[in-house]
Amino acid sequence: MPAVSWSFPILHFIKPESNFTQITTLDACTTFLQSMDISGCNPALFPFQKDEGLRMGLATITDGESVEVGQKLLFDPIKEDFLRKLFEERAFNSWGGNSYIELRTSKFFLAYNPLAVNADVFVFNPSSPEVAMSLVKSNRLQVTSGLKVVENDTLSMSLGAKVYYYRSEYYQDSFFLSDLSGTDVDELIKFKKRSGVAGDLGGFLKFGNAWIPKVSLLLKNLGSQFKNKEKDIISEHQMRPLLVYETYSRLGLGYDFKTTWGVFNAELNLPFKDIYQDLFNEYISGSLGYSLSKFYTSVAVSKYQQIFGFNFGSKIASIGIFYGKARALGDFSTQTENIGGVRAEVSL
């Protein structure tokens, strides 16, 4: 199968539905059975998640060079002086966050994400400065469920699905800084609105032979109207979040190791364009997680992202802290950013 390399992607630690495990494993958690919020990693793991009740929380990047910039881009009027200052101080800025309320039952999880945000701006080309932006604000209402279809000494197999209704407000385009001289910023940056129904489908296989890796198959954002068109992705004048809003798929291979002092999970995760078409070989990720009672920690690496995090919890609350390093534009830019973030949760 041919591999593909996208020349103008944007990678994000926090995506609209990301929980703590997804963030700190770079989504390489689709085979994890002993960690937090496993059904978020793969809906096929729903039958293995036993906790019920009402939960609410949020995740955001709180420390990094881009935090203030991202917040201003999404929530404040964008001013000409602000954009010119970005070009002088820092060419690329990126920020993300999400929030959620979730009702968990033995049959399904029902969740509402009031606000998820991803903000990216890149000011480039010193001879004639140009601004490329991708700004997305969205909310979702989603339901997740799954079931075991095979359970014996030789094989455990489960299937799961997540269906969600989304509404998004977004701007994804570019313009020259010189355009600001004769045009109002509000006329250049016009947000579009989009809504629809999309979903994820997952499968999970665990074999009786401990030497055979667990296997996961995951289809993401089926039916999504967000299409990363080839002409946009390869253009130096466009930015698009990659492996976030568009339809893509994943293959996971994992092992777990149970000890007296907790459980270790390891996974190699391979992302593909659309439904198992071209392999995104530059975005293959690997993770290692450890859990003991209400404590969880993990580390993950890929070519352009590295992250470490830990979470402490109780029956009513949990707090997770993570630290990462990313080259969010991949090979297109050598600029790297160190970030810190939190994910807090309350259970009722």
Domain boundaries, the chain: 9-347
Higher pLDDT, 252 or 76: 252
124: tokens are 């480039």
pLDDT at position 236 is 59
Of 131, 113, 124, 220, residue with least CA distance to 172: 131
Three-state secondary-structure class, residue 17: coil
Task: Give the up-direction half-sphere exposure of residue 268: CA atoms within 13 A in the CB hemisphere.
Answer: 3
Mean pLDDT over residues 300-327, rounded? 94
Confidence bin at 348 (pLDDT 50/70/90):
confident
Percent of the chain with pLDDT over 90: 60
Amino acid identity for residue 146 in this structure? G
Instruction: Report pLDDT digits (tens) over 264-289.
Output: 999 999 999 999 999 999 999 999 99
Lowest mean pLDDT among 146-155, 180-189, 298-307, 336-345: 180-189
pLDDT exceeds cutoff 90 at 106: yes
Confidence bin at 239 (pLDDT 50/70/90):
confident
pLDDT at position 185 is 74
Q: How far apart are CA 307 and CA 284, in angstroms?
A: 14
pTM of the model: 0.90
Instruction: Report pLDDT digits (tens) over 212-224.
Output: 999 999 999 999 9
Q: How far apart are CA 71 and CA 305, in angstroms?
A: 22
Give the CA radius of gyration of the chain.
20
pLDDT exceeds cutoff 90 at 157: yes
Percent of the chain with pLDDT over 70: 89
Q: How far apart are CA 198 and CA 303, in angstroms?
A: 29
Q: What is the helix (H) or strand (E) element at residue 86, kind and residue range?
A: helix 80-89
Of 56, 49, 80, 60, residue with least CA distance to 12: 60
**DSSP, res 140:** E
Confidence bin at 233 (pLDDT 50/70/90):
low
Instruction: Report pLDDT digits (tens) over 45-79.
Output: 999 988 889 999 999 887 666 667 766 767 777 77
Pairing of strands 9-10, 240-241: parallel
Task: Give the up-direction half-sphere exposure of residue 190: CA atoms within 13 A in the CB hemisphere.
Answer: 4
Contact indicator for 311, 36 with CB cutoff of 8 Å: yes
Mean pLDDT over residues 291-301, rounded? 94
Task: Could you please state the CATH topology (level 3) that the domain comprising 9-347 is classified under.
Answer: Porin (2.40.160)
